[in-house]
Copies of this chain bind each other. A is one copy, B any other.
């Protein structure tokens, strides 16, 4: 399996603290040593750093630690290969463009069946079930919405397609177009929302802490989403099975049922 990390904020924020704990799970405090990747939205642009070396020792991960990129939407992934060889083409997160926006996707879990992509405009480059599912989702969205829908509309339709794919296996994922970050839980996904009054957080995977009150303003709001909680002194919310939360500006939104 793999591990996911996401961040949604109302002001550009660096993810150095969370990434420092997360990357250690890539071969040091955990076994997810088959590559890793992280995508940062910066306005409409997006840059992805990928490596098939373990994140705990990767020189690219050192860069990400030493060159704090500020972003309002981040998705990271460390891989323990279950389907597909260890290669760059199979390294999450994956990127495509739809409606003039970049879309970023990372998946934790395994899908045992792959829906048909015949005739779809998005096709996988590598051979993972994850990229296949991402292409299928985008193909379906492109057919459903010739032009970009509103975010609440998108949330509803994405929920429908996600339920369809979830019948084929474990489908924890993070998906973002830079405006919204969608987090879907099949089995394991937690989030914490940090806002004023900020306090000090301590990593689970390293003896590192940060006093957020010293690096934030009172209006800041940051949501961090992860397969397992990254800190040991904050209350992380465990998402329910089949829950699809849309984070905008660090704030979670749920579907009206």
Contacts and interface: CB of A to CB of B under 8 A. Distances in A.
Interface stretch (A58-66, A105-113, A158-166, A182-190): A58-66
Contacts of A89: 42-46
Interface string A25-49: 0000000000000000011111111
Nearest to A58: B67
- Count this chain's copies in the assembly: 2
Nearest to A95: B95
Given A44-B89, A87-B43, A100 B121 contact: no
Nearest to A59: B67
Contacts of A66: 59
A35 to B, nearest CB: 10
Interface in A80-109: 87-91, 95-97, 99-102
Contact of A46 (B45, B88, B142): B88
Interface of A: 42-50, 59-60, 63, 66-67, 87-91, 95-97, 99-102, 121-126, 142
**4 tightest A-B CB contacts, nearest first:** A45-B88, A45-B89, A100-B123, A44-B89
